[in-house]
Structure 1
Amino acid sequence: MDFIPVCNPEYTWDADKKGIVTVHVVNKGFYNWIAQKIFKKPRISHIALDKYGSFVWQQMDGKRNVYEISKLVSERFGKDAEPVVERLVKYIQILYQNKFIGYVKQK
């Protein structure tokens, strides 16, 4: 809960008028190059997050820890986000495992 998540600077992202975030991932590397040439896979993948994921993504500024983000999620979505802590921790773990985020040291 004391970890401070930060978005991976290698990925660009934007939000639409409704606040839905789309993360743009450039598919690099030899195997991606082969897939792009042979199977016509896109060079850039666009990953749209849902409303909860978009809100959390926008809160990961390198200053707020997971606990502070969980409080903001509770304030914003109320009972719809329950159980907040368990869902948020799992979501952040998935983002970390897929290299969408990293952690900064607490100051």
Structure 2
Amino acid sequence: MSKKISKNYLDYIPEKNPGIEYETAEDGMVTLFIEWKGFHNRIAQKIFHRPRISDIKMDELGSFVWLAIDGQKDVHQLSKEFDEKFPGKEKSLSRLIKFLEILRDNNLIHWKGAKKR
């Protein structure tokens, strides 16, 4: 009988998707550039005039987290840096984890060592 071992979320190491381009403005705000590829996206671009490249402007918190992701720091280290930068933020760890999940669900990051989708 094999026992399933669950990994602690704080030990996960996020890595940016190397296919995502971004720029950092002088004020430190990050803008991600997402290129929409594939058959369905080409149809949407032609019929519904959707842009080929979308830009996603992050707020101060999102920009900080995006720039802190370096493929070396785990979620625990990121949460400590987040708390130092934004002291007193309520539920900072759960906010950070939720934000990282959103990034992962949208294929902007993946967990280091995990199989890519």
- 3-state SS in 2 of match to 1:17: coil
The structure that is helix-richer by fraction is: 1
The structure with the larger Rg is 2
In the alignment, structure 1 residue 56 sits paired with structure 2 residue 86: no
Instruction: Provide the C-alpha distance between the structure 2 equivalents of 1:78 and 1:68, rounded to a whole number of angstroms.
Output: 15
Alpha-carbon offset, residue 24 of structure 1: 0.4
1:20 corresponds to which letter in structure 2? M
Distance 2:108 2:90 in 1: 24
What TM-score, normalized to structure 2? 0.86
> How many equivalent residue pairs?
104
What do the CA deviations read for 1:5-64 (whole angstroms, capped 9, x no partner)? 011111101110111111000000111101111111110000011100100000110010
Query: Which residue of 56, 81, 84 corresponds with 2:92?
Result: 84
Give the counterpart of 2:82 among 51, 59, 73.
73
C-alpha RMSD of matched pairs (Å) = 0.8
Higher relative contact order (CA 8 A, sep 6+): 1
